[in-house]
Structure 1
């Protein structure tokens, strides 16, 4: 005889468990959620790969900027300047290197500018801290064509009144010995235009003058002077130790003597910048080529990258400058070459010949003019455009962002749908289990009655 009716009495209510629900959910998840998770993982890898390409793209963009006609700051690869100096009497500086004139500039410094400095007679700490008023009368300072008069109630009082007036001088009390102090007065600026004249009854008491008017030579420790120098035979005089010649070359005198600076065109800097450009070009193009031929790449939009690479290469292989087709210039006229893999290089000997004999031609090739832009200017504009709205890289970034958003939303919806479905199923299973358990309990009594009836017969 069969055990139970429709499974009743076999204890199968326990088969409707959470473990069974989890297995069913996991099986359905493999088909509905995991493919979306895989797509998101691959998309993340694609974004990382594109970020690597973008880094090399930006490196190339930075490397081509010195060959751009409109380079920020105006200093391009062709107007780099080198400077060599002799002597130590001056320091040279130039905020706009490109504007420096080539040639030798000679500077002969015969006098440095300096401040006006005065000192008082000495006084002790007891004098300084005494409660007895100084009672020395007025103290007058003339500077810059203006006269300023102060009372002198005490040493500190006079110093504070001078400093509070902000007249272009600074007063201080300086310890000059074990029990010796002086009032020191200095002009804030250097040069004869900041010369100081001191007078008044207090000036005599403090030792700045001999009679309130006549200067005490011992008090005048440093006399205001202008800097004097000749630059290429031209005489200069300045209240500071700085002068600017040719509108751009700043000269700072530091000591008396003769110095010179020789400004030359820095072709070594040009070669260094060119080497950097070639290296960054090869790094960028080889990276793109690897992705385009790799069947396992995570890059999904090879067409966009192929177009980007073609745009860069076309500008490398283009012709520039000149007024007619016969005047056009290309890299390959100056010793540049591309190998079978597209790697760019140049013959250093041929390039040096061009630097020595046709530097202007190289500049026309790379920089060009506003009406006839060169290779560097064209490439810089093309690469800039790729990052702007509707540009290749900008659109690729937008595509990846939108794709990630869509996949995330689809995955979240699929997960929510499964969660709802199996939450409902779990509730149904719980109800079914209660019903079956109740029926099994009733069927257990029926089984006993049947068993007793069978045994009595």
Structure 2
């Protein structure tokens, strides 16, 4: 009889020893655990993330509404003016101090700066001599310039004057004659109060500079601007005329016949601001409707359906719209032609609103921004919006912080459940490996015994 020995093969892949599909069994077990333990957490995480995203959408709509409301809360909006002028040659700008009205303006003379010119010489590099040139503009401090070997040519003196900050600009002009080069001095300021005084002193009375500066010619006389406003004569040292009309700056560029300046309240800008606010509120309403919608046919719901925070915001802002404000001429939005529709949106009757702006803009301003004694409509609304949107203490910040915390907790639970599944799968793998090894050993023993029995039978 032949004797053989058997040995159990090392198990390198689960199921090889037993012939059973143990790997698939393990995968099914893991999938079952994932479905029962992890998938519900993932579903909750997706729901919370969707809610956070929905709050981001809601916040964007509220931010836009807040921006529009803040524009209406700016007191300068109701003081803004528009200007128009019938002719040309006069530009107009106004401050909030300007008074609405119609004004007749006629410019008869523009302000101009004085210019003085020396006689001509043949060469810009000719030596002028040595001495002191003194320049004075109006009653400002005199500035002295020393002529020496570093600057005593026309070019050098021009550069020295321009660097001296004397309120005078020097240029060289070529008049095309036999002695063409002339030094021209021009006051930096217009008007008769900016006339120049030029003097030159030298120990050598025969030097060229003495002759040049002793015989200067006035080529342009200093001149004030002259105009009339509603028949009243006005003079100005500059072509920029300030406060001849309260809060108005006139910039003159040409003379001409009488023209009409019209200053009026800029109701178009106010109307645009109100329209922007209405549009922003309606966008907010549409956003809330979308986020809280329920489709019975499809069985789908908006991410914020039933959310108490969203409901509170909508209710409070809607309440601001129809609540009475103050005790002025206008106490309700509807009196301005701004109505609340059945779907919660706002509409504008432009005729009613324009009439209010044209006839009683101060009362419109009082309604929106209030007085020292009482708050206005926009004041109340911006207070509510600040309460919702404040980055530190706002209602939405508190809500999203809570959702973020909930998301962190779900992530921790997910990790805990995943670790539990991993541990359980490892235990099952070890037990399956032992089973695989045992079955492999039993199979090897069975094979050995079968071989021995066959050998015994063959001996017979």
> Same-fold call, TM > 0.5?
yes
* Superposed CA offset, 1:2-54 (max 9, x none): xxxx9x99953565876665554343233333333333333333233222222
What are the within-5 Å matches in structure 2 for residues 196-207 of structure 1?
Answer: 196-200=196-200
1:405 aligned to 2:387?
Answer: no
CA distance in structure 1 between the aligned counterparts of 2:113 and 2:310, rounded to whole angstroms: 66
Residue from 366, 371, 379 that aligns with 2:381: 379
Which residue is equivalent to 1:3?
Answer: none
1:136 aligned to 2:135?
Answer: no
Which residue is equivalent to 2:279?
Answer: 279
CA distance in structure 1 between the aligned counterparts of 2:260 and 2:210, rounded to whole angstroms: 44
1:148 aligned to 2:131?
Answer: no
1:227 aligned to 2:225?
Answer: yes
Structure 1 residue 283, shift from structure 2 partner: 2.7
1:100 aligned to 2:98?
Answer: yes
* Superposed CA offset, 1:127-154 (max 9, x none): 55x7xx7253235141233131221344
CA distance in structure 2 between the aligned counterparts of 1:424 and 1:183, rounded to whole angstroms: 104
CA distance in structure 2 between the aligned counterparts of 1:171 and 1:17, rounded to whole angstroms: 102
Please give the root-mean-square deviation of Cα atoms over the aligned residues, in Å: 4.3
Comparing 51-60 with 357-366, which one deviates more in the overlay? 357-366
Distance 1:114 1:377, change over 3 A: same
Structure 1 residue 93, shift from structure 2 partner: 0.9
CA distance in structure 2 between the aligned counterparts of 1:100 and 1:210, rounded to whole angstroms: 53
Distance 1:298 1:195, change over 3 A: same
Which residue is equivalent to 2:5?
Answer: none
Which residue is equivalent to 1:452?
Answer: 455
Structure 1 residue 176, shift from structure 2 partner: 7.7
CA contact (8 A) 1:121 1:206 kept: no
CA contact (8 A) 2:41 2:414 kept: yes
CA distance in structure 2 between the aligned counterparts of 1:414 and 1:175, rounded to whole angstroms: 95
Structure 1 residue 322, shift from structure 2 partner: 1.8
What are the within-5 Å matches in structure 2 for residues 86-235 of structure 1?
Answer: 86-96=86-96, 99-118=97-116, 127=123, 134=127, 136-138=129-131, 140-143=133-136, 144-151=140-147, 152-171=151-170, 183-200=183-200, 210=211, 212-215=213-216, 217=217, 220-232=218-230, 233=232, 235=234
CA contact (8 A) 2:81 2:263 kept: yes
1:309 aligned to 2:332?
Answer: no
Structure 1 residue 314, shift from structure 2 partner: 1.0
Residue from 365, 368, 373 that aligns with 1:366: 368
* Superposed CA offset, 1:342-400 (max 9, x none): 33335455555555655555444333323222322222222222223443323223223
Distance 1:349 1:115, change over 3 A: closer
Residue from 390, 393, 397 that aligns with 1:394: 397
CA distance in structure 2 between the aligned counterparts of 1:431 and 1:122, rounded to whole angstroms: 118
Which SS does the other structure have where 1:75 is aligned?
helix
CA contact (8 A) 1:199 1:209 kept: no
Structure 1 residue 454, shift from structure 2 partner: 4.0
CA contact (8 A) 2:83 2:262 kept: yes
Show structure 1 runs of 5+ residues with no match: 1-5
Distance 1:198 1:436, change over 3 A: farther
CA distance in structure 1 between the aligned counterparts of 2:306 and 2:208, rounded to whole angstroms: 88
* Superposed CA offset, 1:232-262 (max 9, x none): 4152423453423455222211222344421
CA distance in structure 1 between the aligned counterparts of 2:169 and 2:410, rounded to whole angstroms: 72
* Superposed CA offset, 1:27-86 (max 9, x none): 323333333333333333323322222222222223333443xx2xx323x444332212
Which residue is equivalent to 1:55?
Answer: 60
Which SS does the other structure have where 1:43 is aligned?
helix
Distance 1:429 1:194, change over 3 A: farther
CA contact (8 A) 2:292 2:303 kept: no
CA distance in structure 1 between the aligned counterparts of 2:446 and 2:119, rounded to whole angstroms: 125
CA contact (8 A) 1:321 1:368 kept: yes
Which residue is equivalent to 1:75?
Answer: 76
CA contact (8 A) 2:92 2:251 kept: yes
Structure 1 residue 312, shift from structure 2 partner: 0.9
Distance 1:435 1:329, change over 3 A: same
CA distance in structure 1 between the aligned counterparts of 2:445 and 2:116, rounded to whole angstroms: 120
